[in-house]
Amino acid sequence: MKRSFLLCVFIFFLAPVALVAQTSDLTLKNVSVDTLFVPVDTVFTQQIKLNWQLNSLADSVTIYRCTHQCNLENNYIVIDKVKMENTDLEWIDENANPLSLYYYSIGWKLSGKTAPQTNMALQATSAINGCLNATSLIWNPYINMMDTIDYYNILYRKKGIETEFTSLDSVKGTHYAGYYYQPSNKITYLAQYLDNNTVYEFVIQAVSKNKAITAFSNITEFETQFESEDPVAINISKVSVIDDKYFEIEVNTDDFPKPFQQMYLYKDGPYKDKKDNVFNFIRIDSTNYDQKNSYSFTDTVVDPHSGLYFYQTIAYHSCKVQDNSDTMSNIWLTGERMDKYHDSIRFYRIGFSDIDPTEQYELYRIVKDKNITITNNLTIKNNRYLVDVEPFLKDGVVLMYQVKSEKNCLSNTLIIEHEPHIKFPNAFSPLSLRPEDATFYPILLFPSEQDYLFIIYDRWGKEVFRTDTPPVYGDYGDPQGRWDGKDLQGRECPYGIYSFRISYRYNEGTRRYSETGSVLLIR
């Protein structure tokens, strides 16, 4: 008898638990403002609507609402009880203001409350960056969406003009799950580049991962003011080679009505030949607005000798579309030795729109830190010039050229090394009254004082003269580097043929040369 009683008690306590598990399938699908497809200019009241799904055994559903410090234990009040006499599983909160934030939960007699969900209260305010043709949209995240939230779709239309909402943009949604979230977790989106003096309507659509569940915010309005869309002139005024290693790019602008956020520098190249304006620009640098009309960039990842590099700058704004400069290249100098006395010099520079076709260029030689102008008044059309090198041979056989524009843009340095230019007399006489014939020396107009060696031998191969100092051409009063016909002990050498060997470099050059020969000493 006792065993039967205990079994009945056990079954009695189990049965409600099993019934709850069987009939507690109650889910709040979404909380949404049901006004998205209201025709334009229709007077309507935006209302919050709840949709849910539940087990068919439920006969009624209790609806709970909370406005602050909301979790499943605190501050929820019963605002309605809906009898489930048909398949209509929705309910409208006629007393709610869609601009306020509410937490909703539902339940029935054999279940607890569902996890709360909120309506999305959307506001449109003046843009945080001060743009008159932009607005900041602010709304609270949607919490506890079925299948979790995927993204927010930002919809808009021009009031009184467009009949349907279209998508402006979308932002990835962060899923909030649990009983509540921090009210400070607002989502802000900057809707920019809108038309001037236009009334816009905005609405936010929350979309679930499987795209089956959506919820809409209230519709909010914003009227834009007039924002200037006129472009600001940006000009790359200078692309110049610095220290023959890198480029300095200078940019000049007109006054910006409002500050840009960033100015970016883009680059393409190098090119040996560029005849079109099709580019593959990459962004390499940026600068902030600093209340001036001149900006400077430096590009060190270049080889100024390799060809043409092209640059463009873009200023990005929040209030209007970007301002672009035209495209400008460096001055690229190239050339080669044509023959003993001539070099073919060519320079290139390409700019689209910004280049001044009347700008003049100067071609000059670099000699011992001095610039010797070869020719000037060149324009970009004259990109090839033939230079007579002979008048400059006294300065060295390694010729260094550079081009400078009228606006002080420098090219790379072009280096052309010529063949040796050296002569030896075939005879001399220490007794000659002509100083140029009284000593023996190489006629070398541009020797380097380093790595110089001049040695003379007699007919038996004995060394009679040695010097590591090159002679000064034309200065016969200076005996250094000249053989006066005496041996190393200061004795006069006899009449006869003597051999010599010389090794040298030209000033500015790196290559070392060697020569051998003979000379007749006359007594």
Instruction: Round to whole Å and give the CA distance between 88 and 50.
Output: 11
What are the beta bridge partners of residue 375?
363
Q: What is the predicted pLDDT for the residue at 396?
A: 58
Q: How far apart are CA 474 and CA 267, in angstroms?
A: 53
Q: What homologous superfamily does CATH list for 332-417?
A: Immunoglobulins (2.60.40.10)
Assigned CATH topology for domain 234-329: Immunoglobulin-like (2.60.40)
Global pTM reads 0.54
* 102 exposure class (CB count in 10 Å sphere: 0-12, 13-18, 19+): buried
Q: Is 329 exposed, middle or buried (0-12, 13-18, 19+ CB in 10 A)?
A: buried
The fold of the 25-223 domain, in CATH, is: Immunoglobulin-like (2.60.40)
Backbone angles phi, psi at 199, to 5 degrees: -90, 120
pLDDT tens for the 523 residues of the chain, in order: 334 433 333 333 333 333 233 334 678 888 999 765 555 444 457 889 998 876 666 778 899 999 877 776 678 899 999 887 766 688 899 889 999 999 999 887 767 788 889 999 999 999 877 888 899 999 999 988 888 889 999 999 999 888 889 999 999 987 665 554 555 578 999 998 899 899 999 999 999 998 889 999 999 999 999 887 788 899 999 999 999 999 999 999 998 877 788 999 999 999 988 777 789 999 999 999 888 899 999 999 999 999 999 999 999 887 877 899 989 999 999 988 877 667 888 888 887 655 677 788 988 888 767 777 878 888 776 556 667 666 555 555 677 899 999 888 999 999 887 766 788 999 999 999 998 899 999 987 667 788 899 999 999 999 999 999 988 766 777 788 999 999 999 999 999 999 999 999 876 667 788 999 999 999 8
Which stretch of DSSP H or E encloses residue 7? Answer: helix 2-23
CB 233 within 8 A of CB 404: no
Where does the chain hold its CATH 2.60.40.10 domain(s)? 25-223, 234-329, 332-417
Whole-angstrom distance, CA of residue 278 vs CA of residue 518: 63
Closest-CA residue to 367 (of 507, 483, 267):
507
Q: Which fold has domain 422-521?
A: Immunoglobulin-like (2.60.40)
